[in-house]
Amino acid sequence: MAPRRMKPLALRWLTAAEQALARAVFGSGIRPERVRIFAQPVFPRPFTPGSAGIVYPVAESLTDFTEGALADQATFVHEMVHVWQAQKGVILALAKIKAGDTDAAYRYDLDQQAFPEMNIEQQARVVEHDFVLQRQDTLITGRPPPFPADRYEALRGWWFAP
Tell me the β-bridge partners of 11: 38
| DSSP line for 66-105 | GGS-HHHHHHHHHHHHHHHHHHTT--HHHHHHHH-SSGGG
**Following CA atoms 93, 158, 54, 138 in sequence, which dihedral angle do they give, to the nearest 10 degrees?**
110
- Domain 11-149, CATH number (from 1.10.10, 3.40.1310, 2.40.30, 1.10.3430): 1.10.10
* Closest by CA position to 15, among listed 2, 31, 33, 30: 33
Q: Which ranges of the chain have pLDDT less than 50?
A: none
pLDDT of the residue at 35: 98
Contact at 8 Å (CB) between 6 and 61?
yes
Q: What is the pLDDT of residues 112-124, one digit of tens each?
A: 999 999 999 999 9
Alpha-carbon Rg for the chain in angstroms: 15
Q: Which of 84, 56, 74, 76 is nearest to 128 (CA)?
A: 74
Strand order in the sheet with 47-50: 11-13, 36-40, 53-57, 47-50
Show me where the domains of the chain are located: 11-149
Query: Length of the chain, please?
Result: 162
Please choose, from the candidates 3, 30, 158, the residue with its C-alpha nearest in 3D space to the C-alpha of residue 86.
30
For residue 1, the model assigns a pLDDT of 75
pLDDT value for 39 = 98
What confidence score (pLDDT) does residue 2 get?
Answer: 83
Residues facing residue 50 across a β-bridge:
53
At residue 26, the pLDDT reads 98
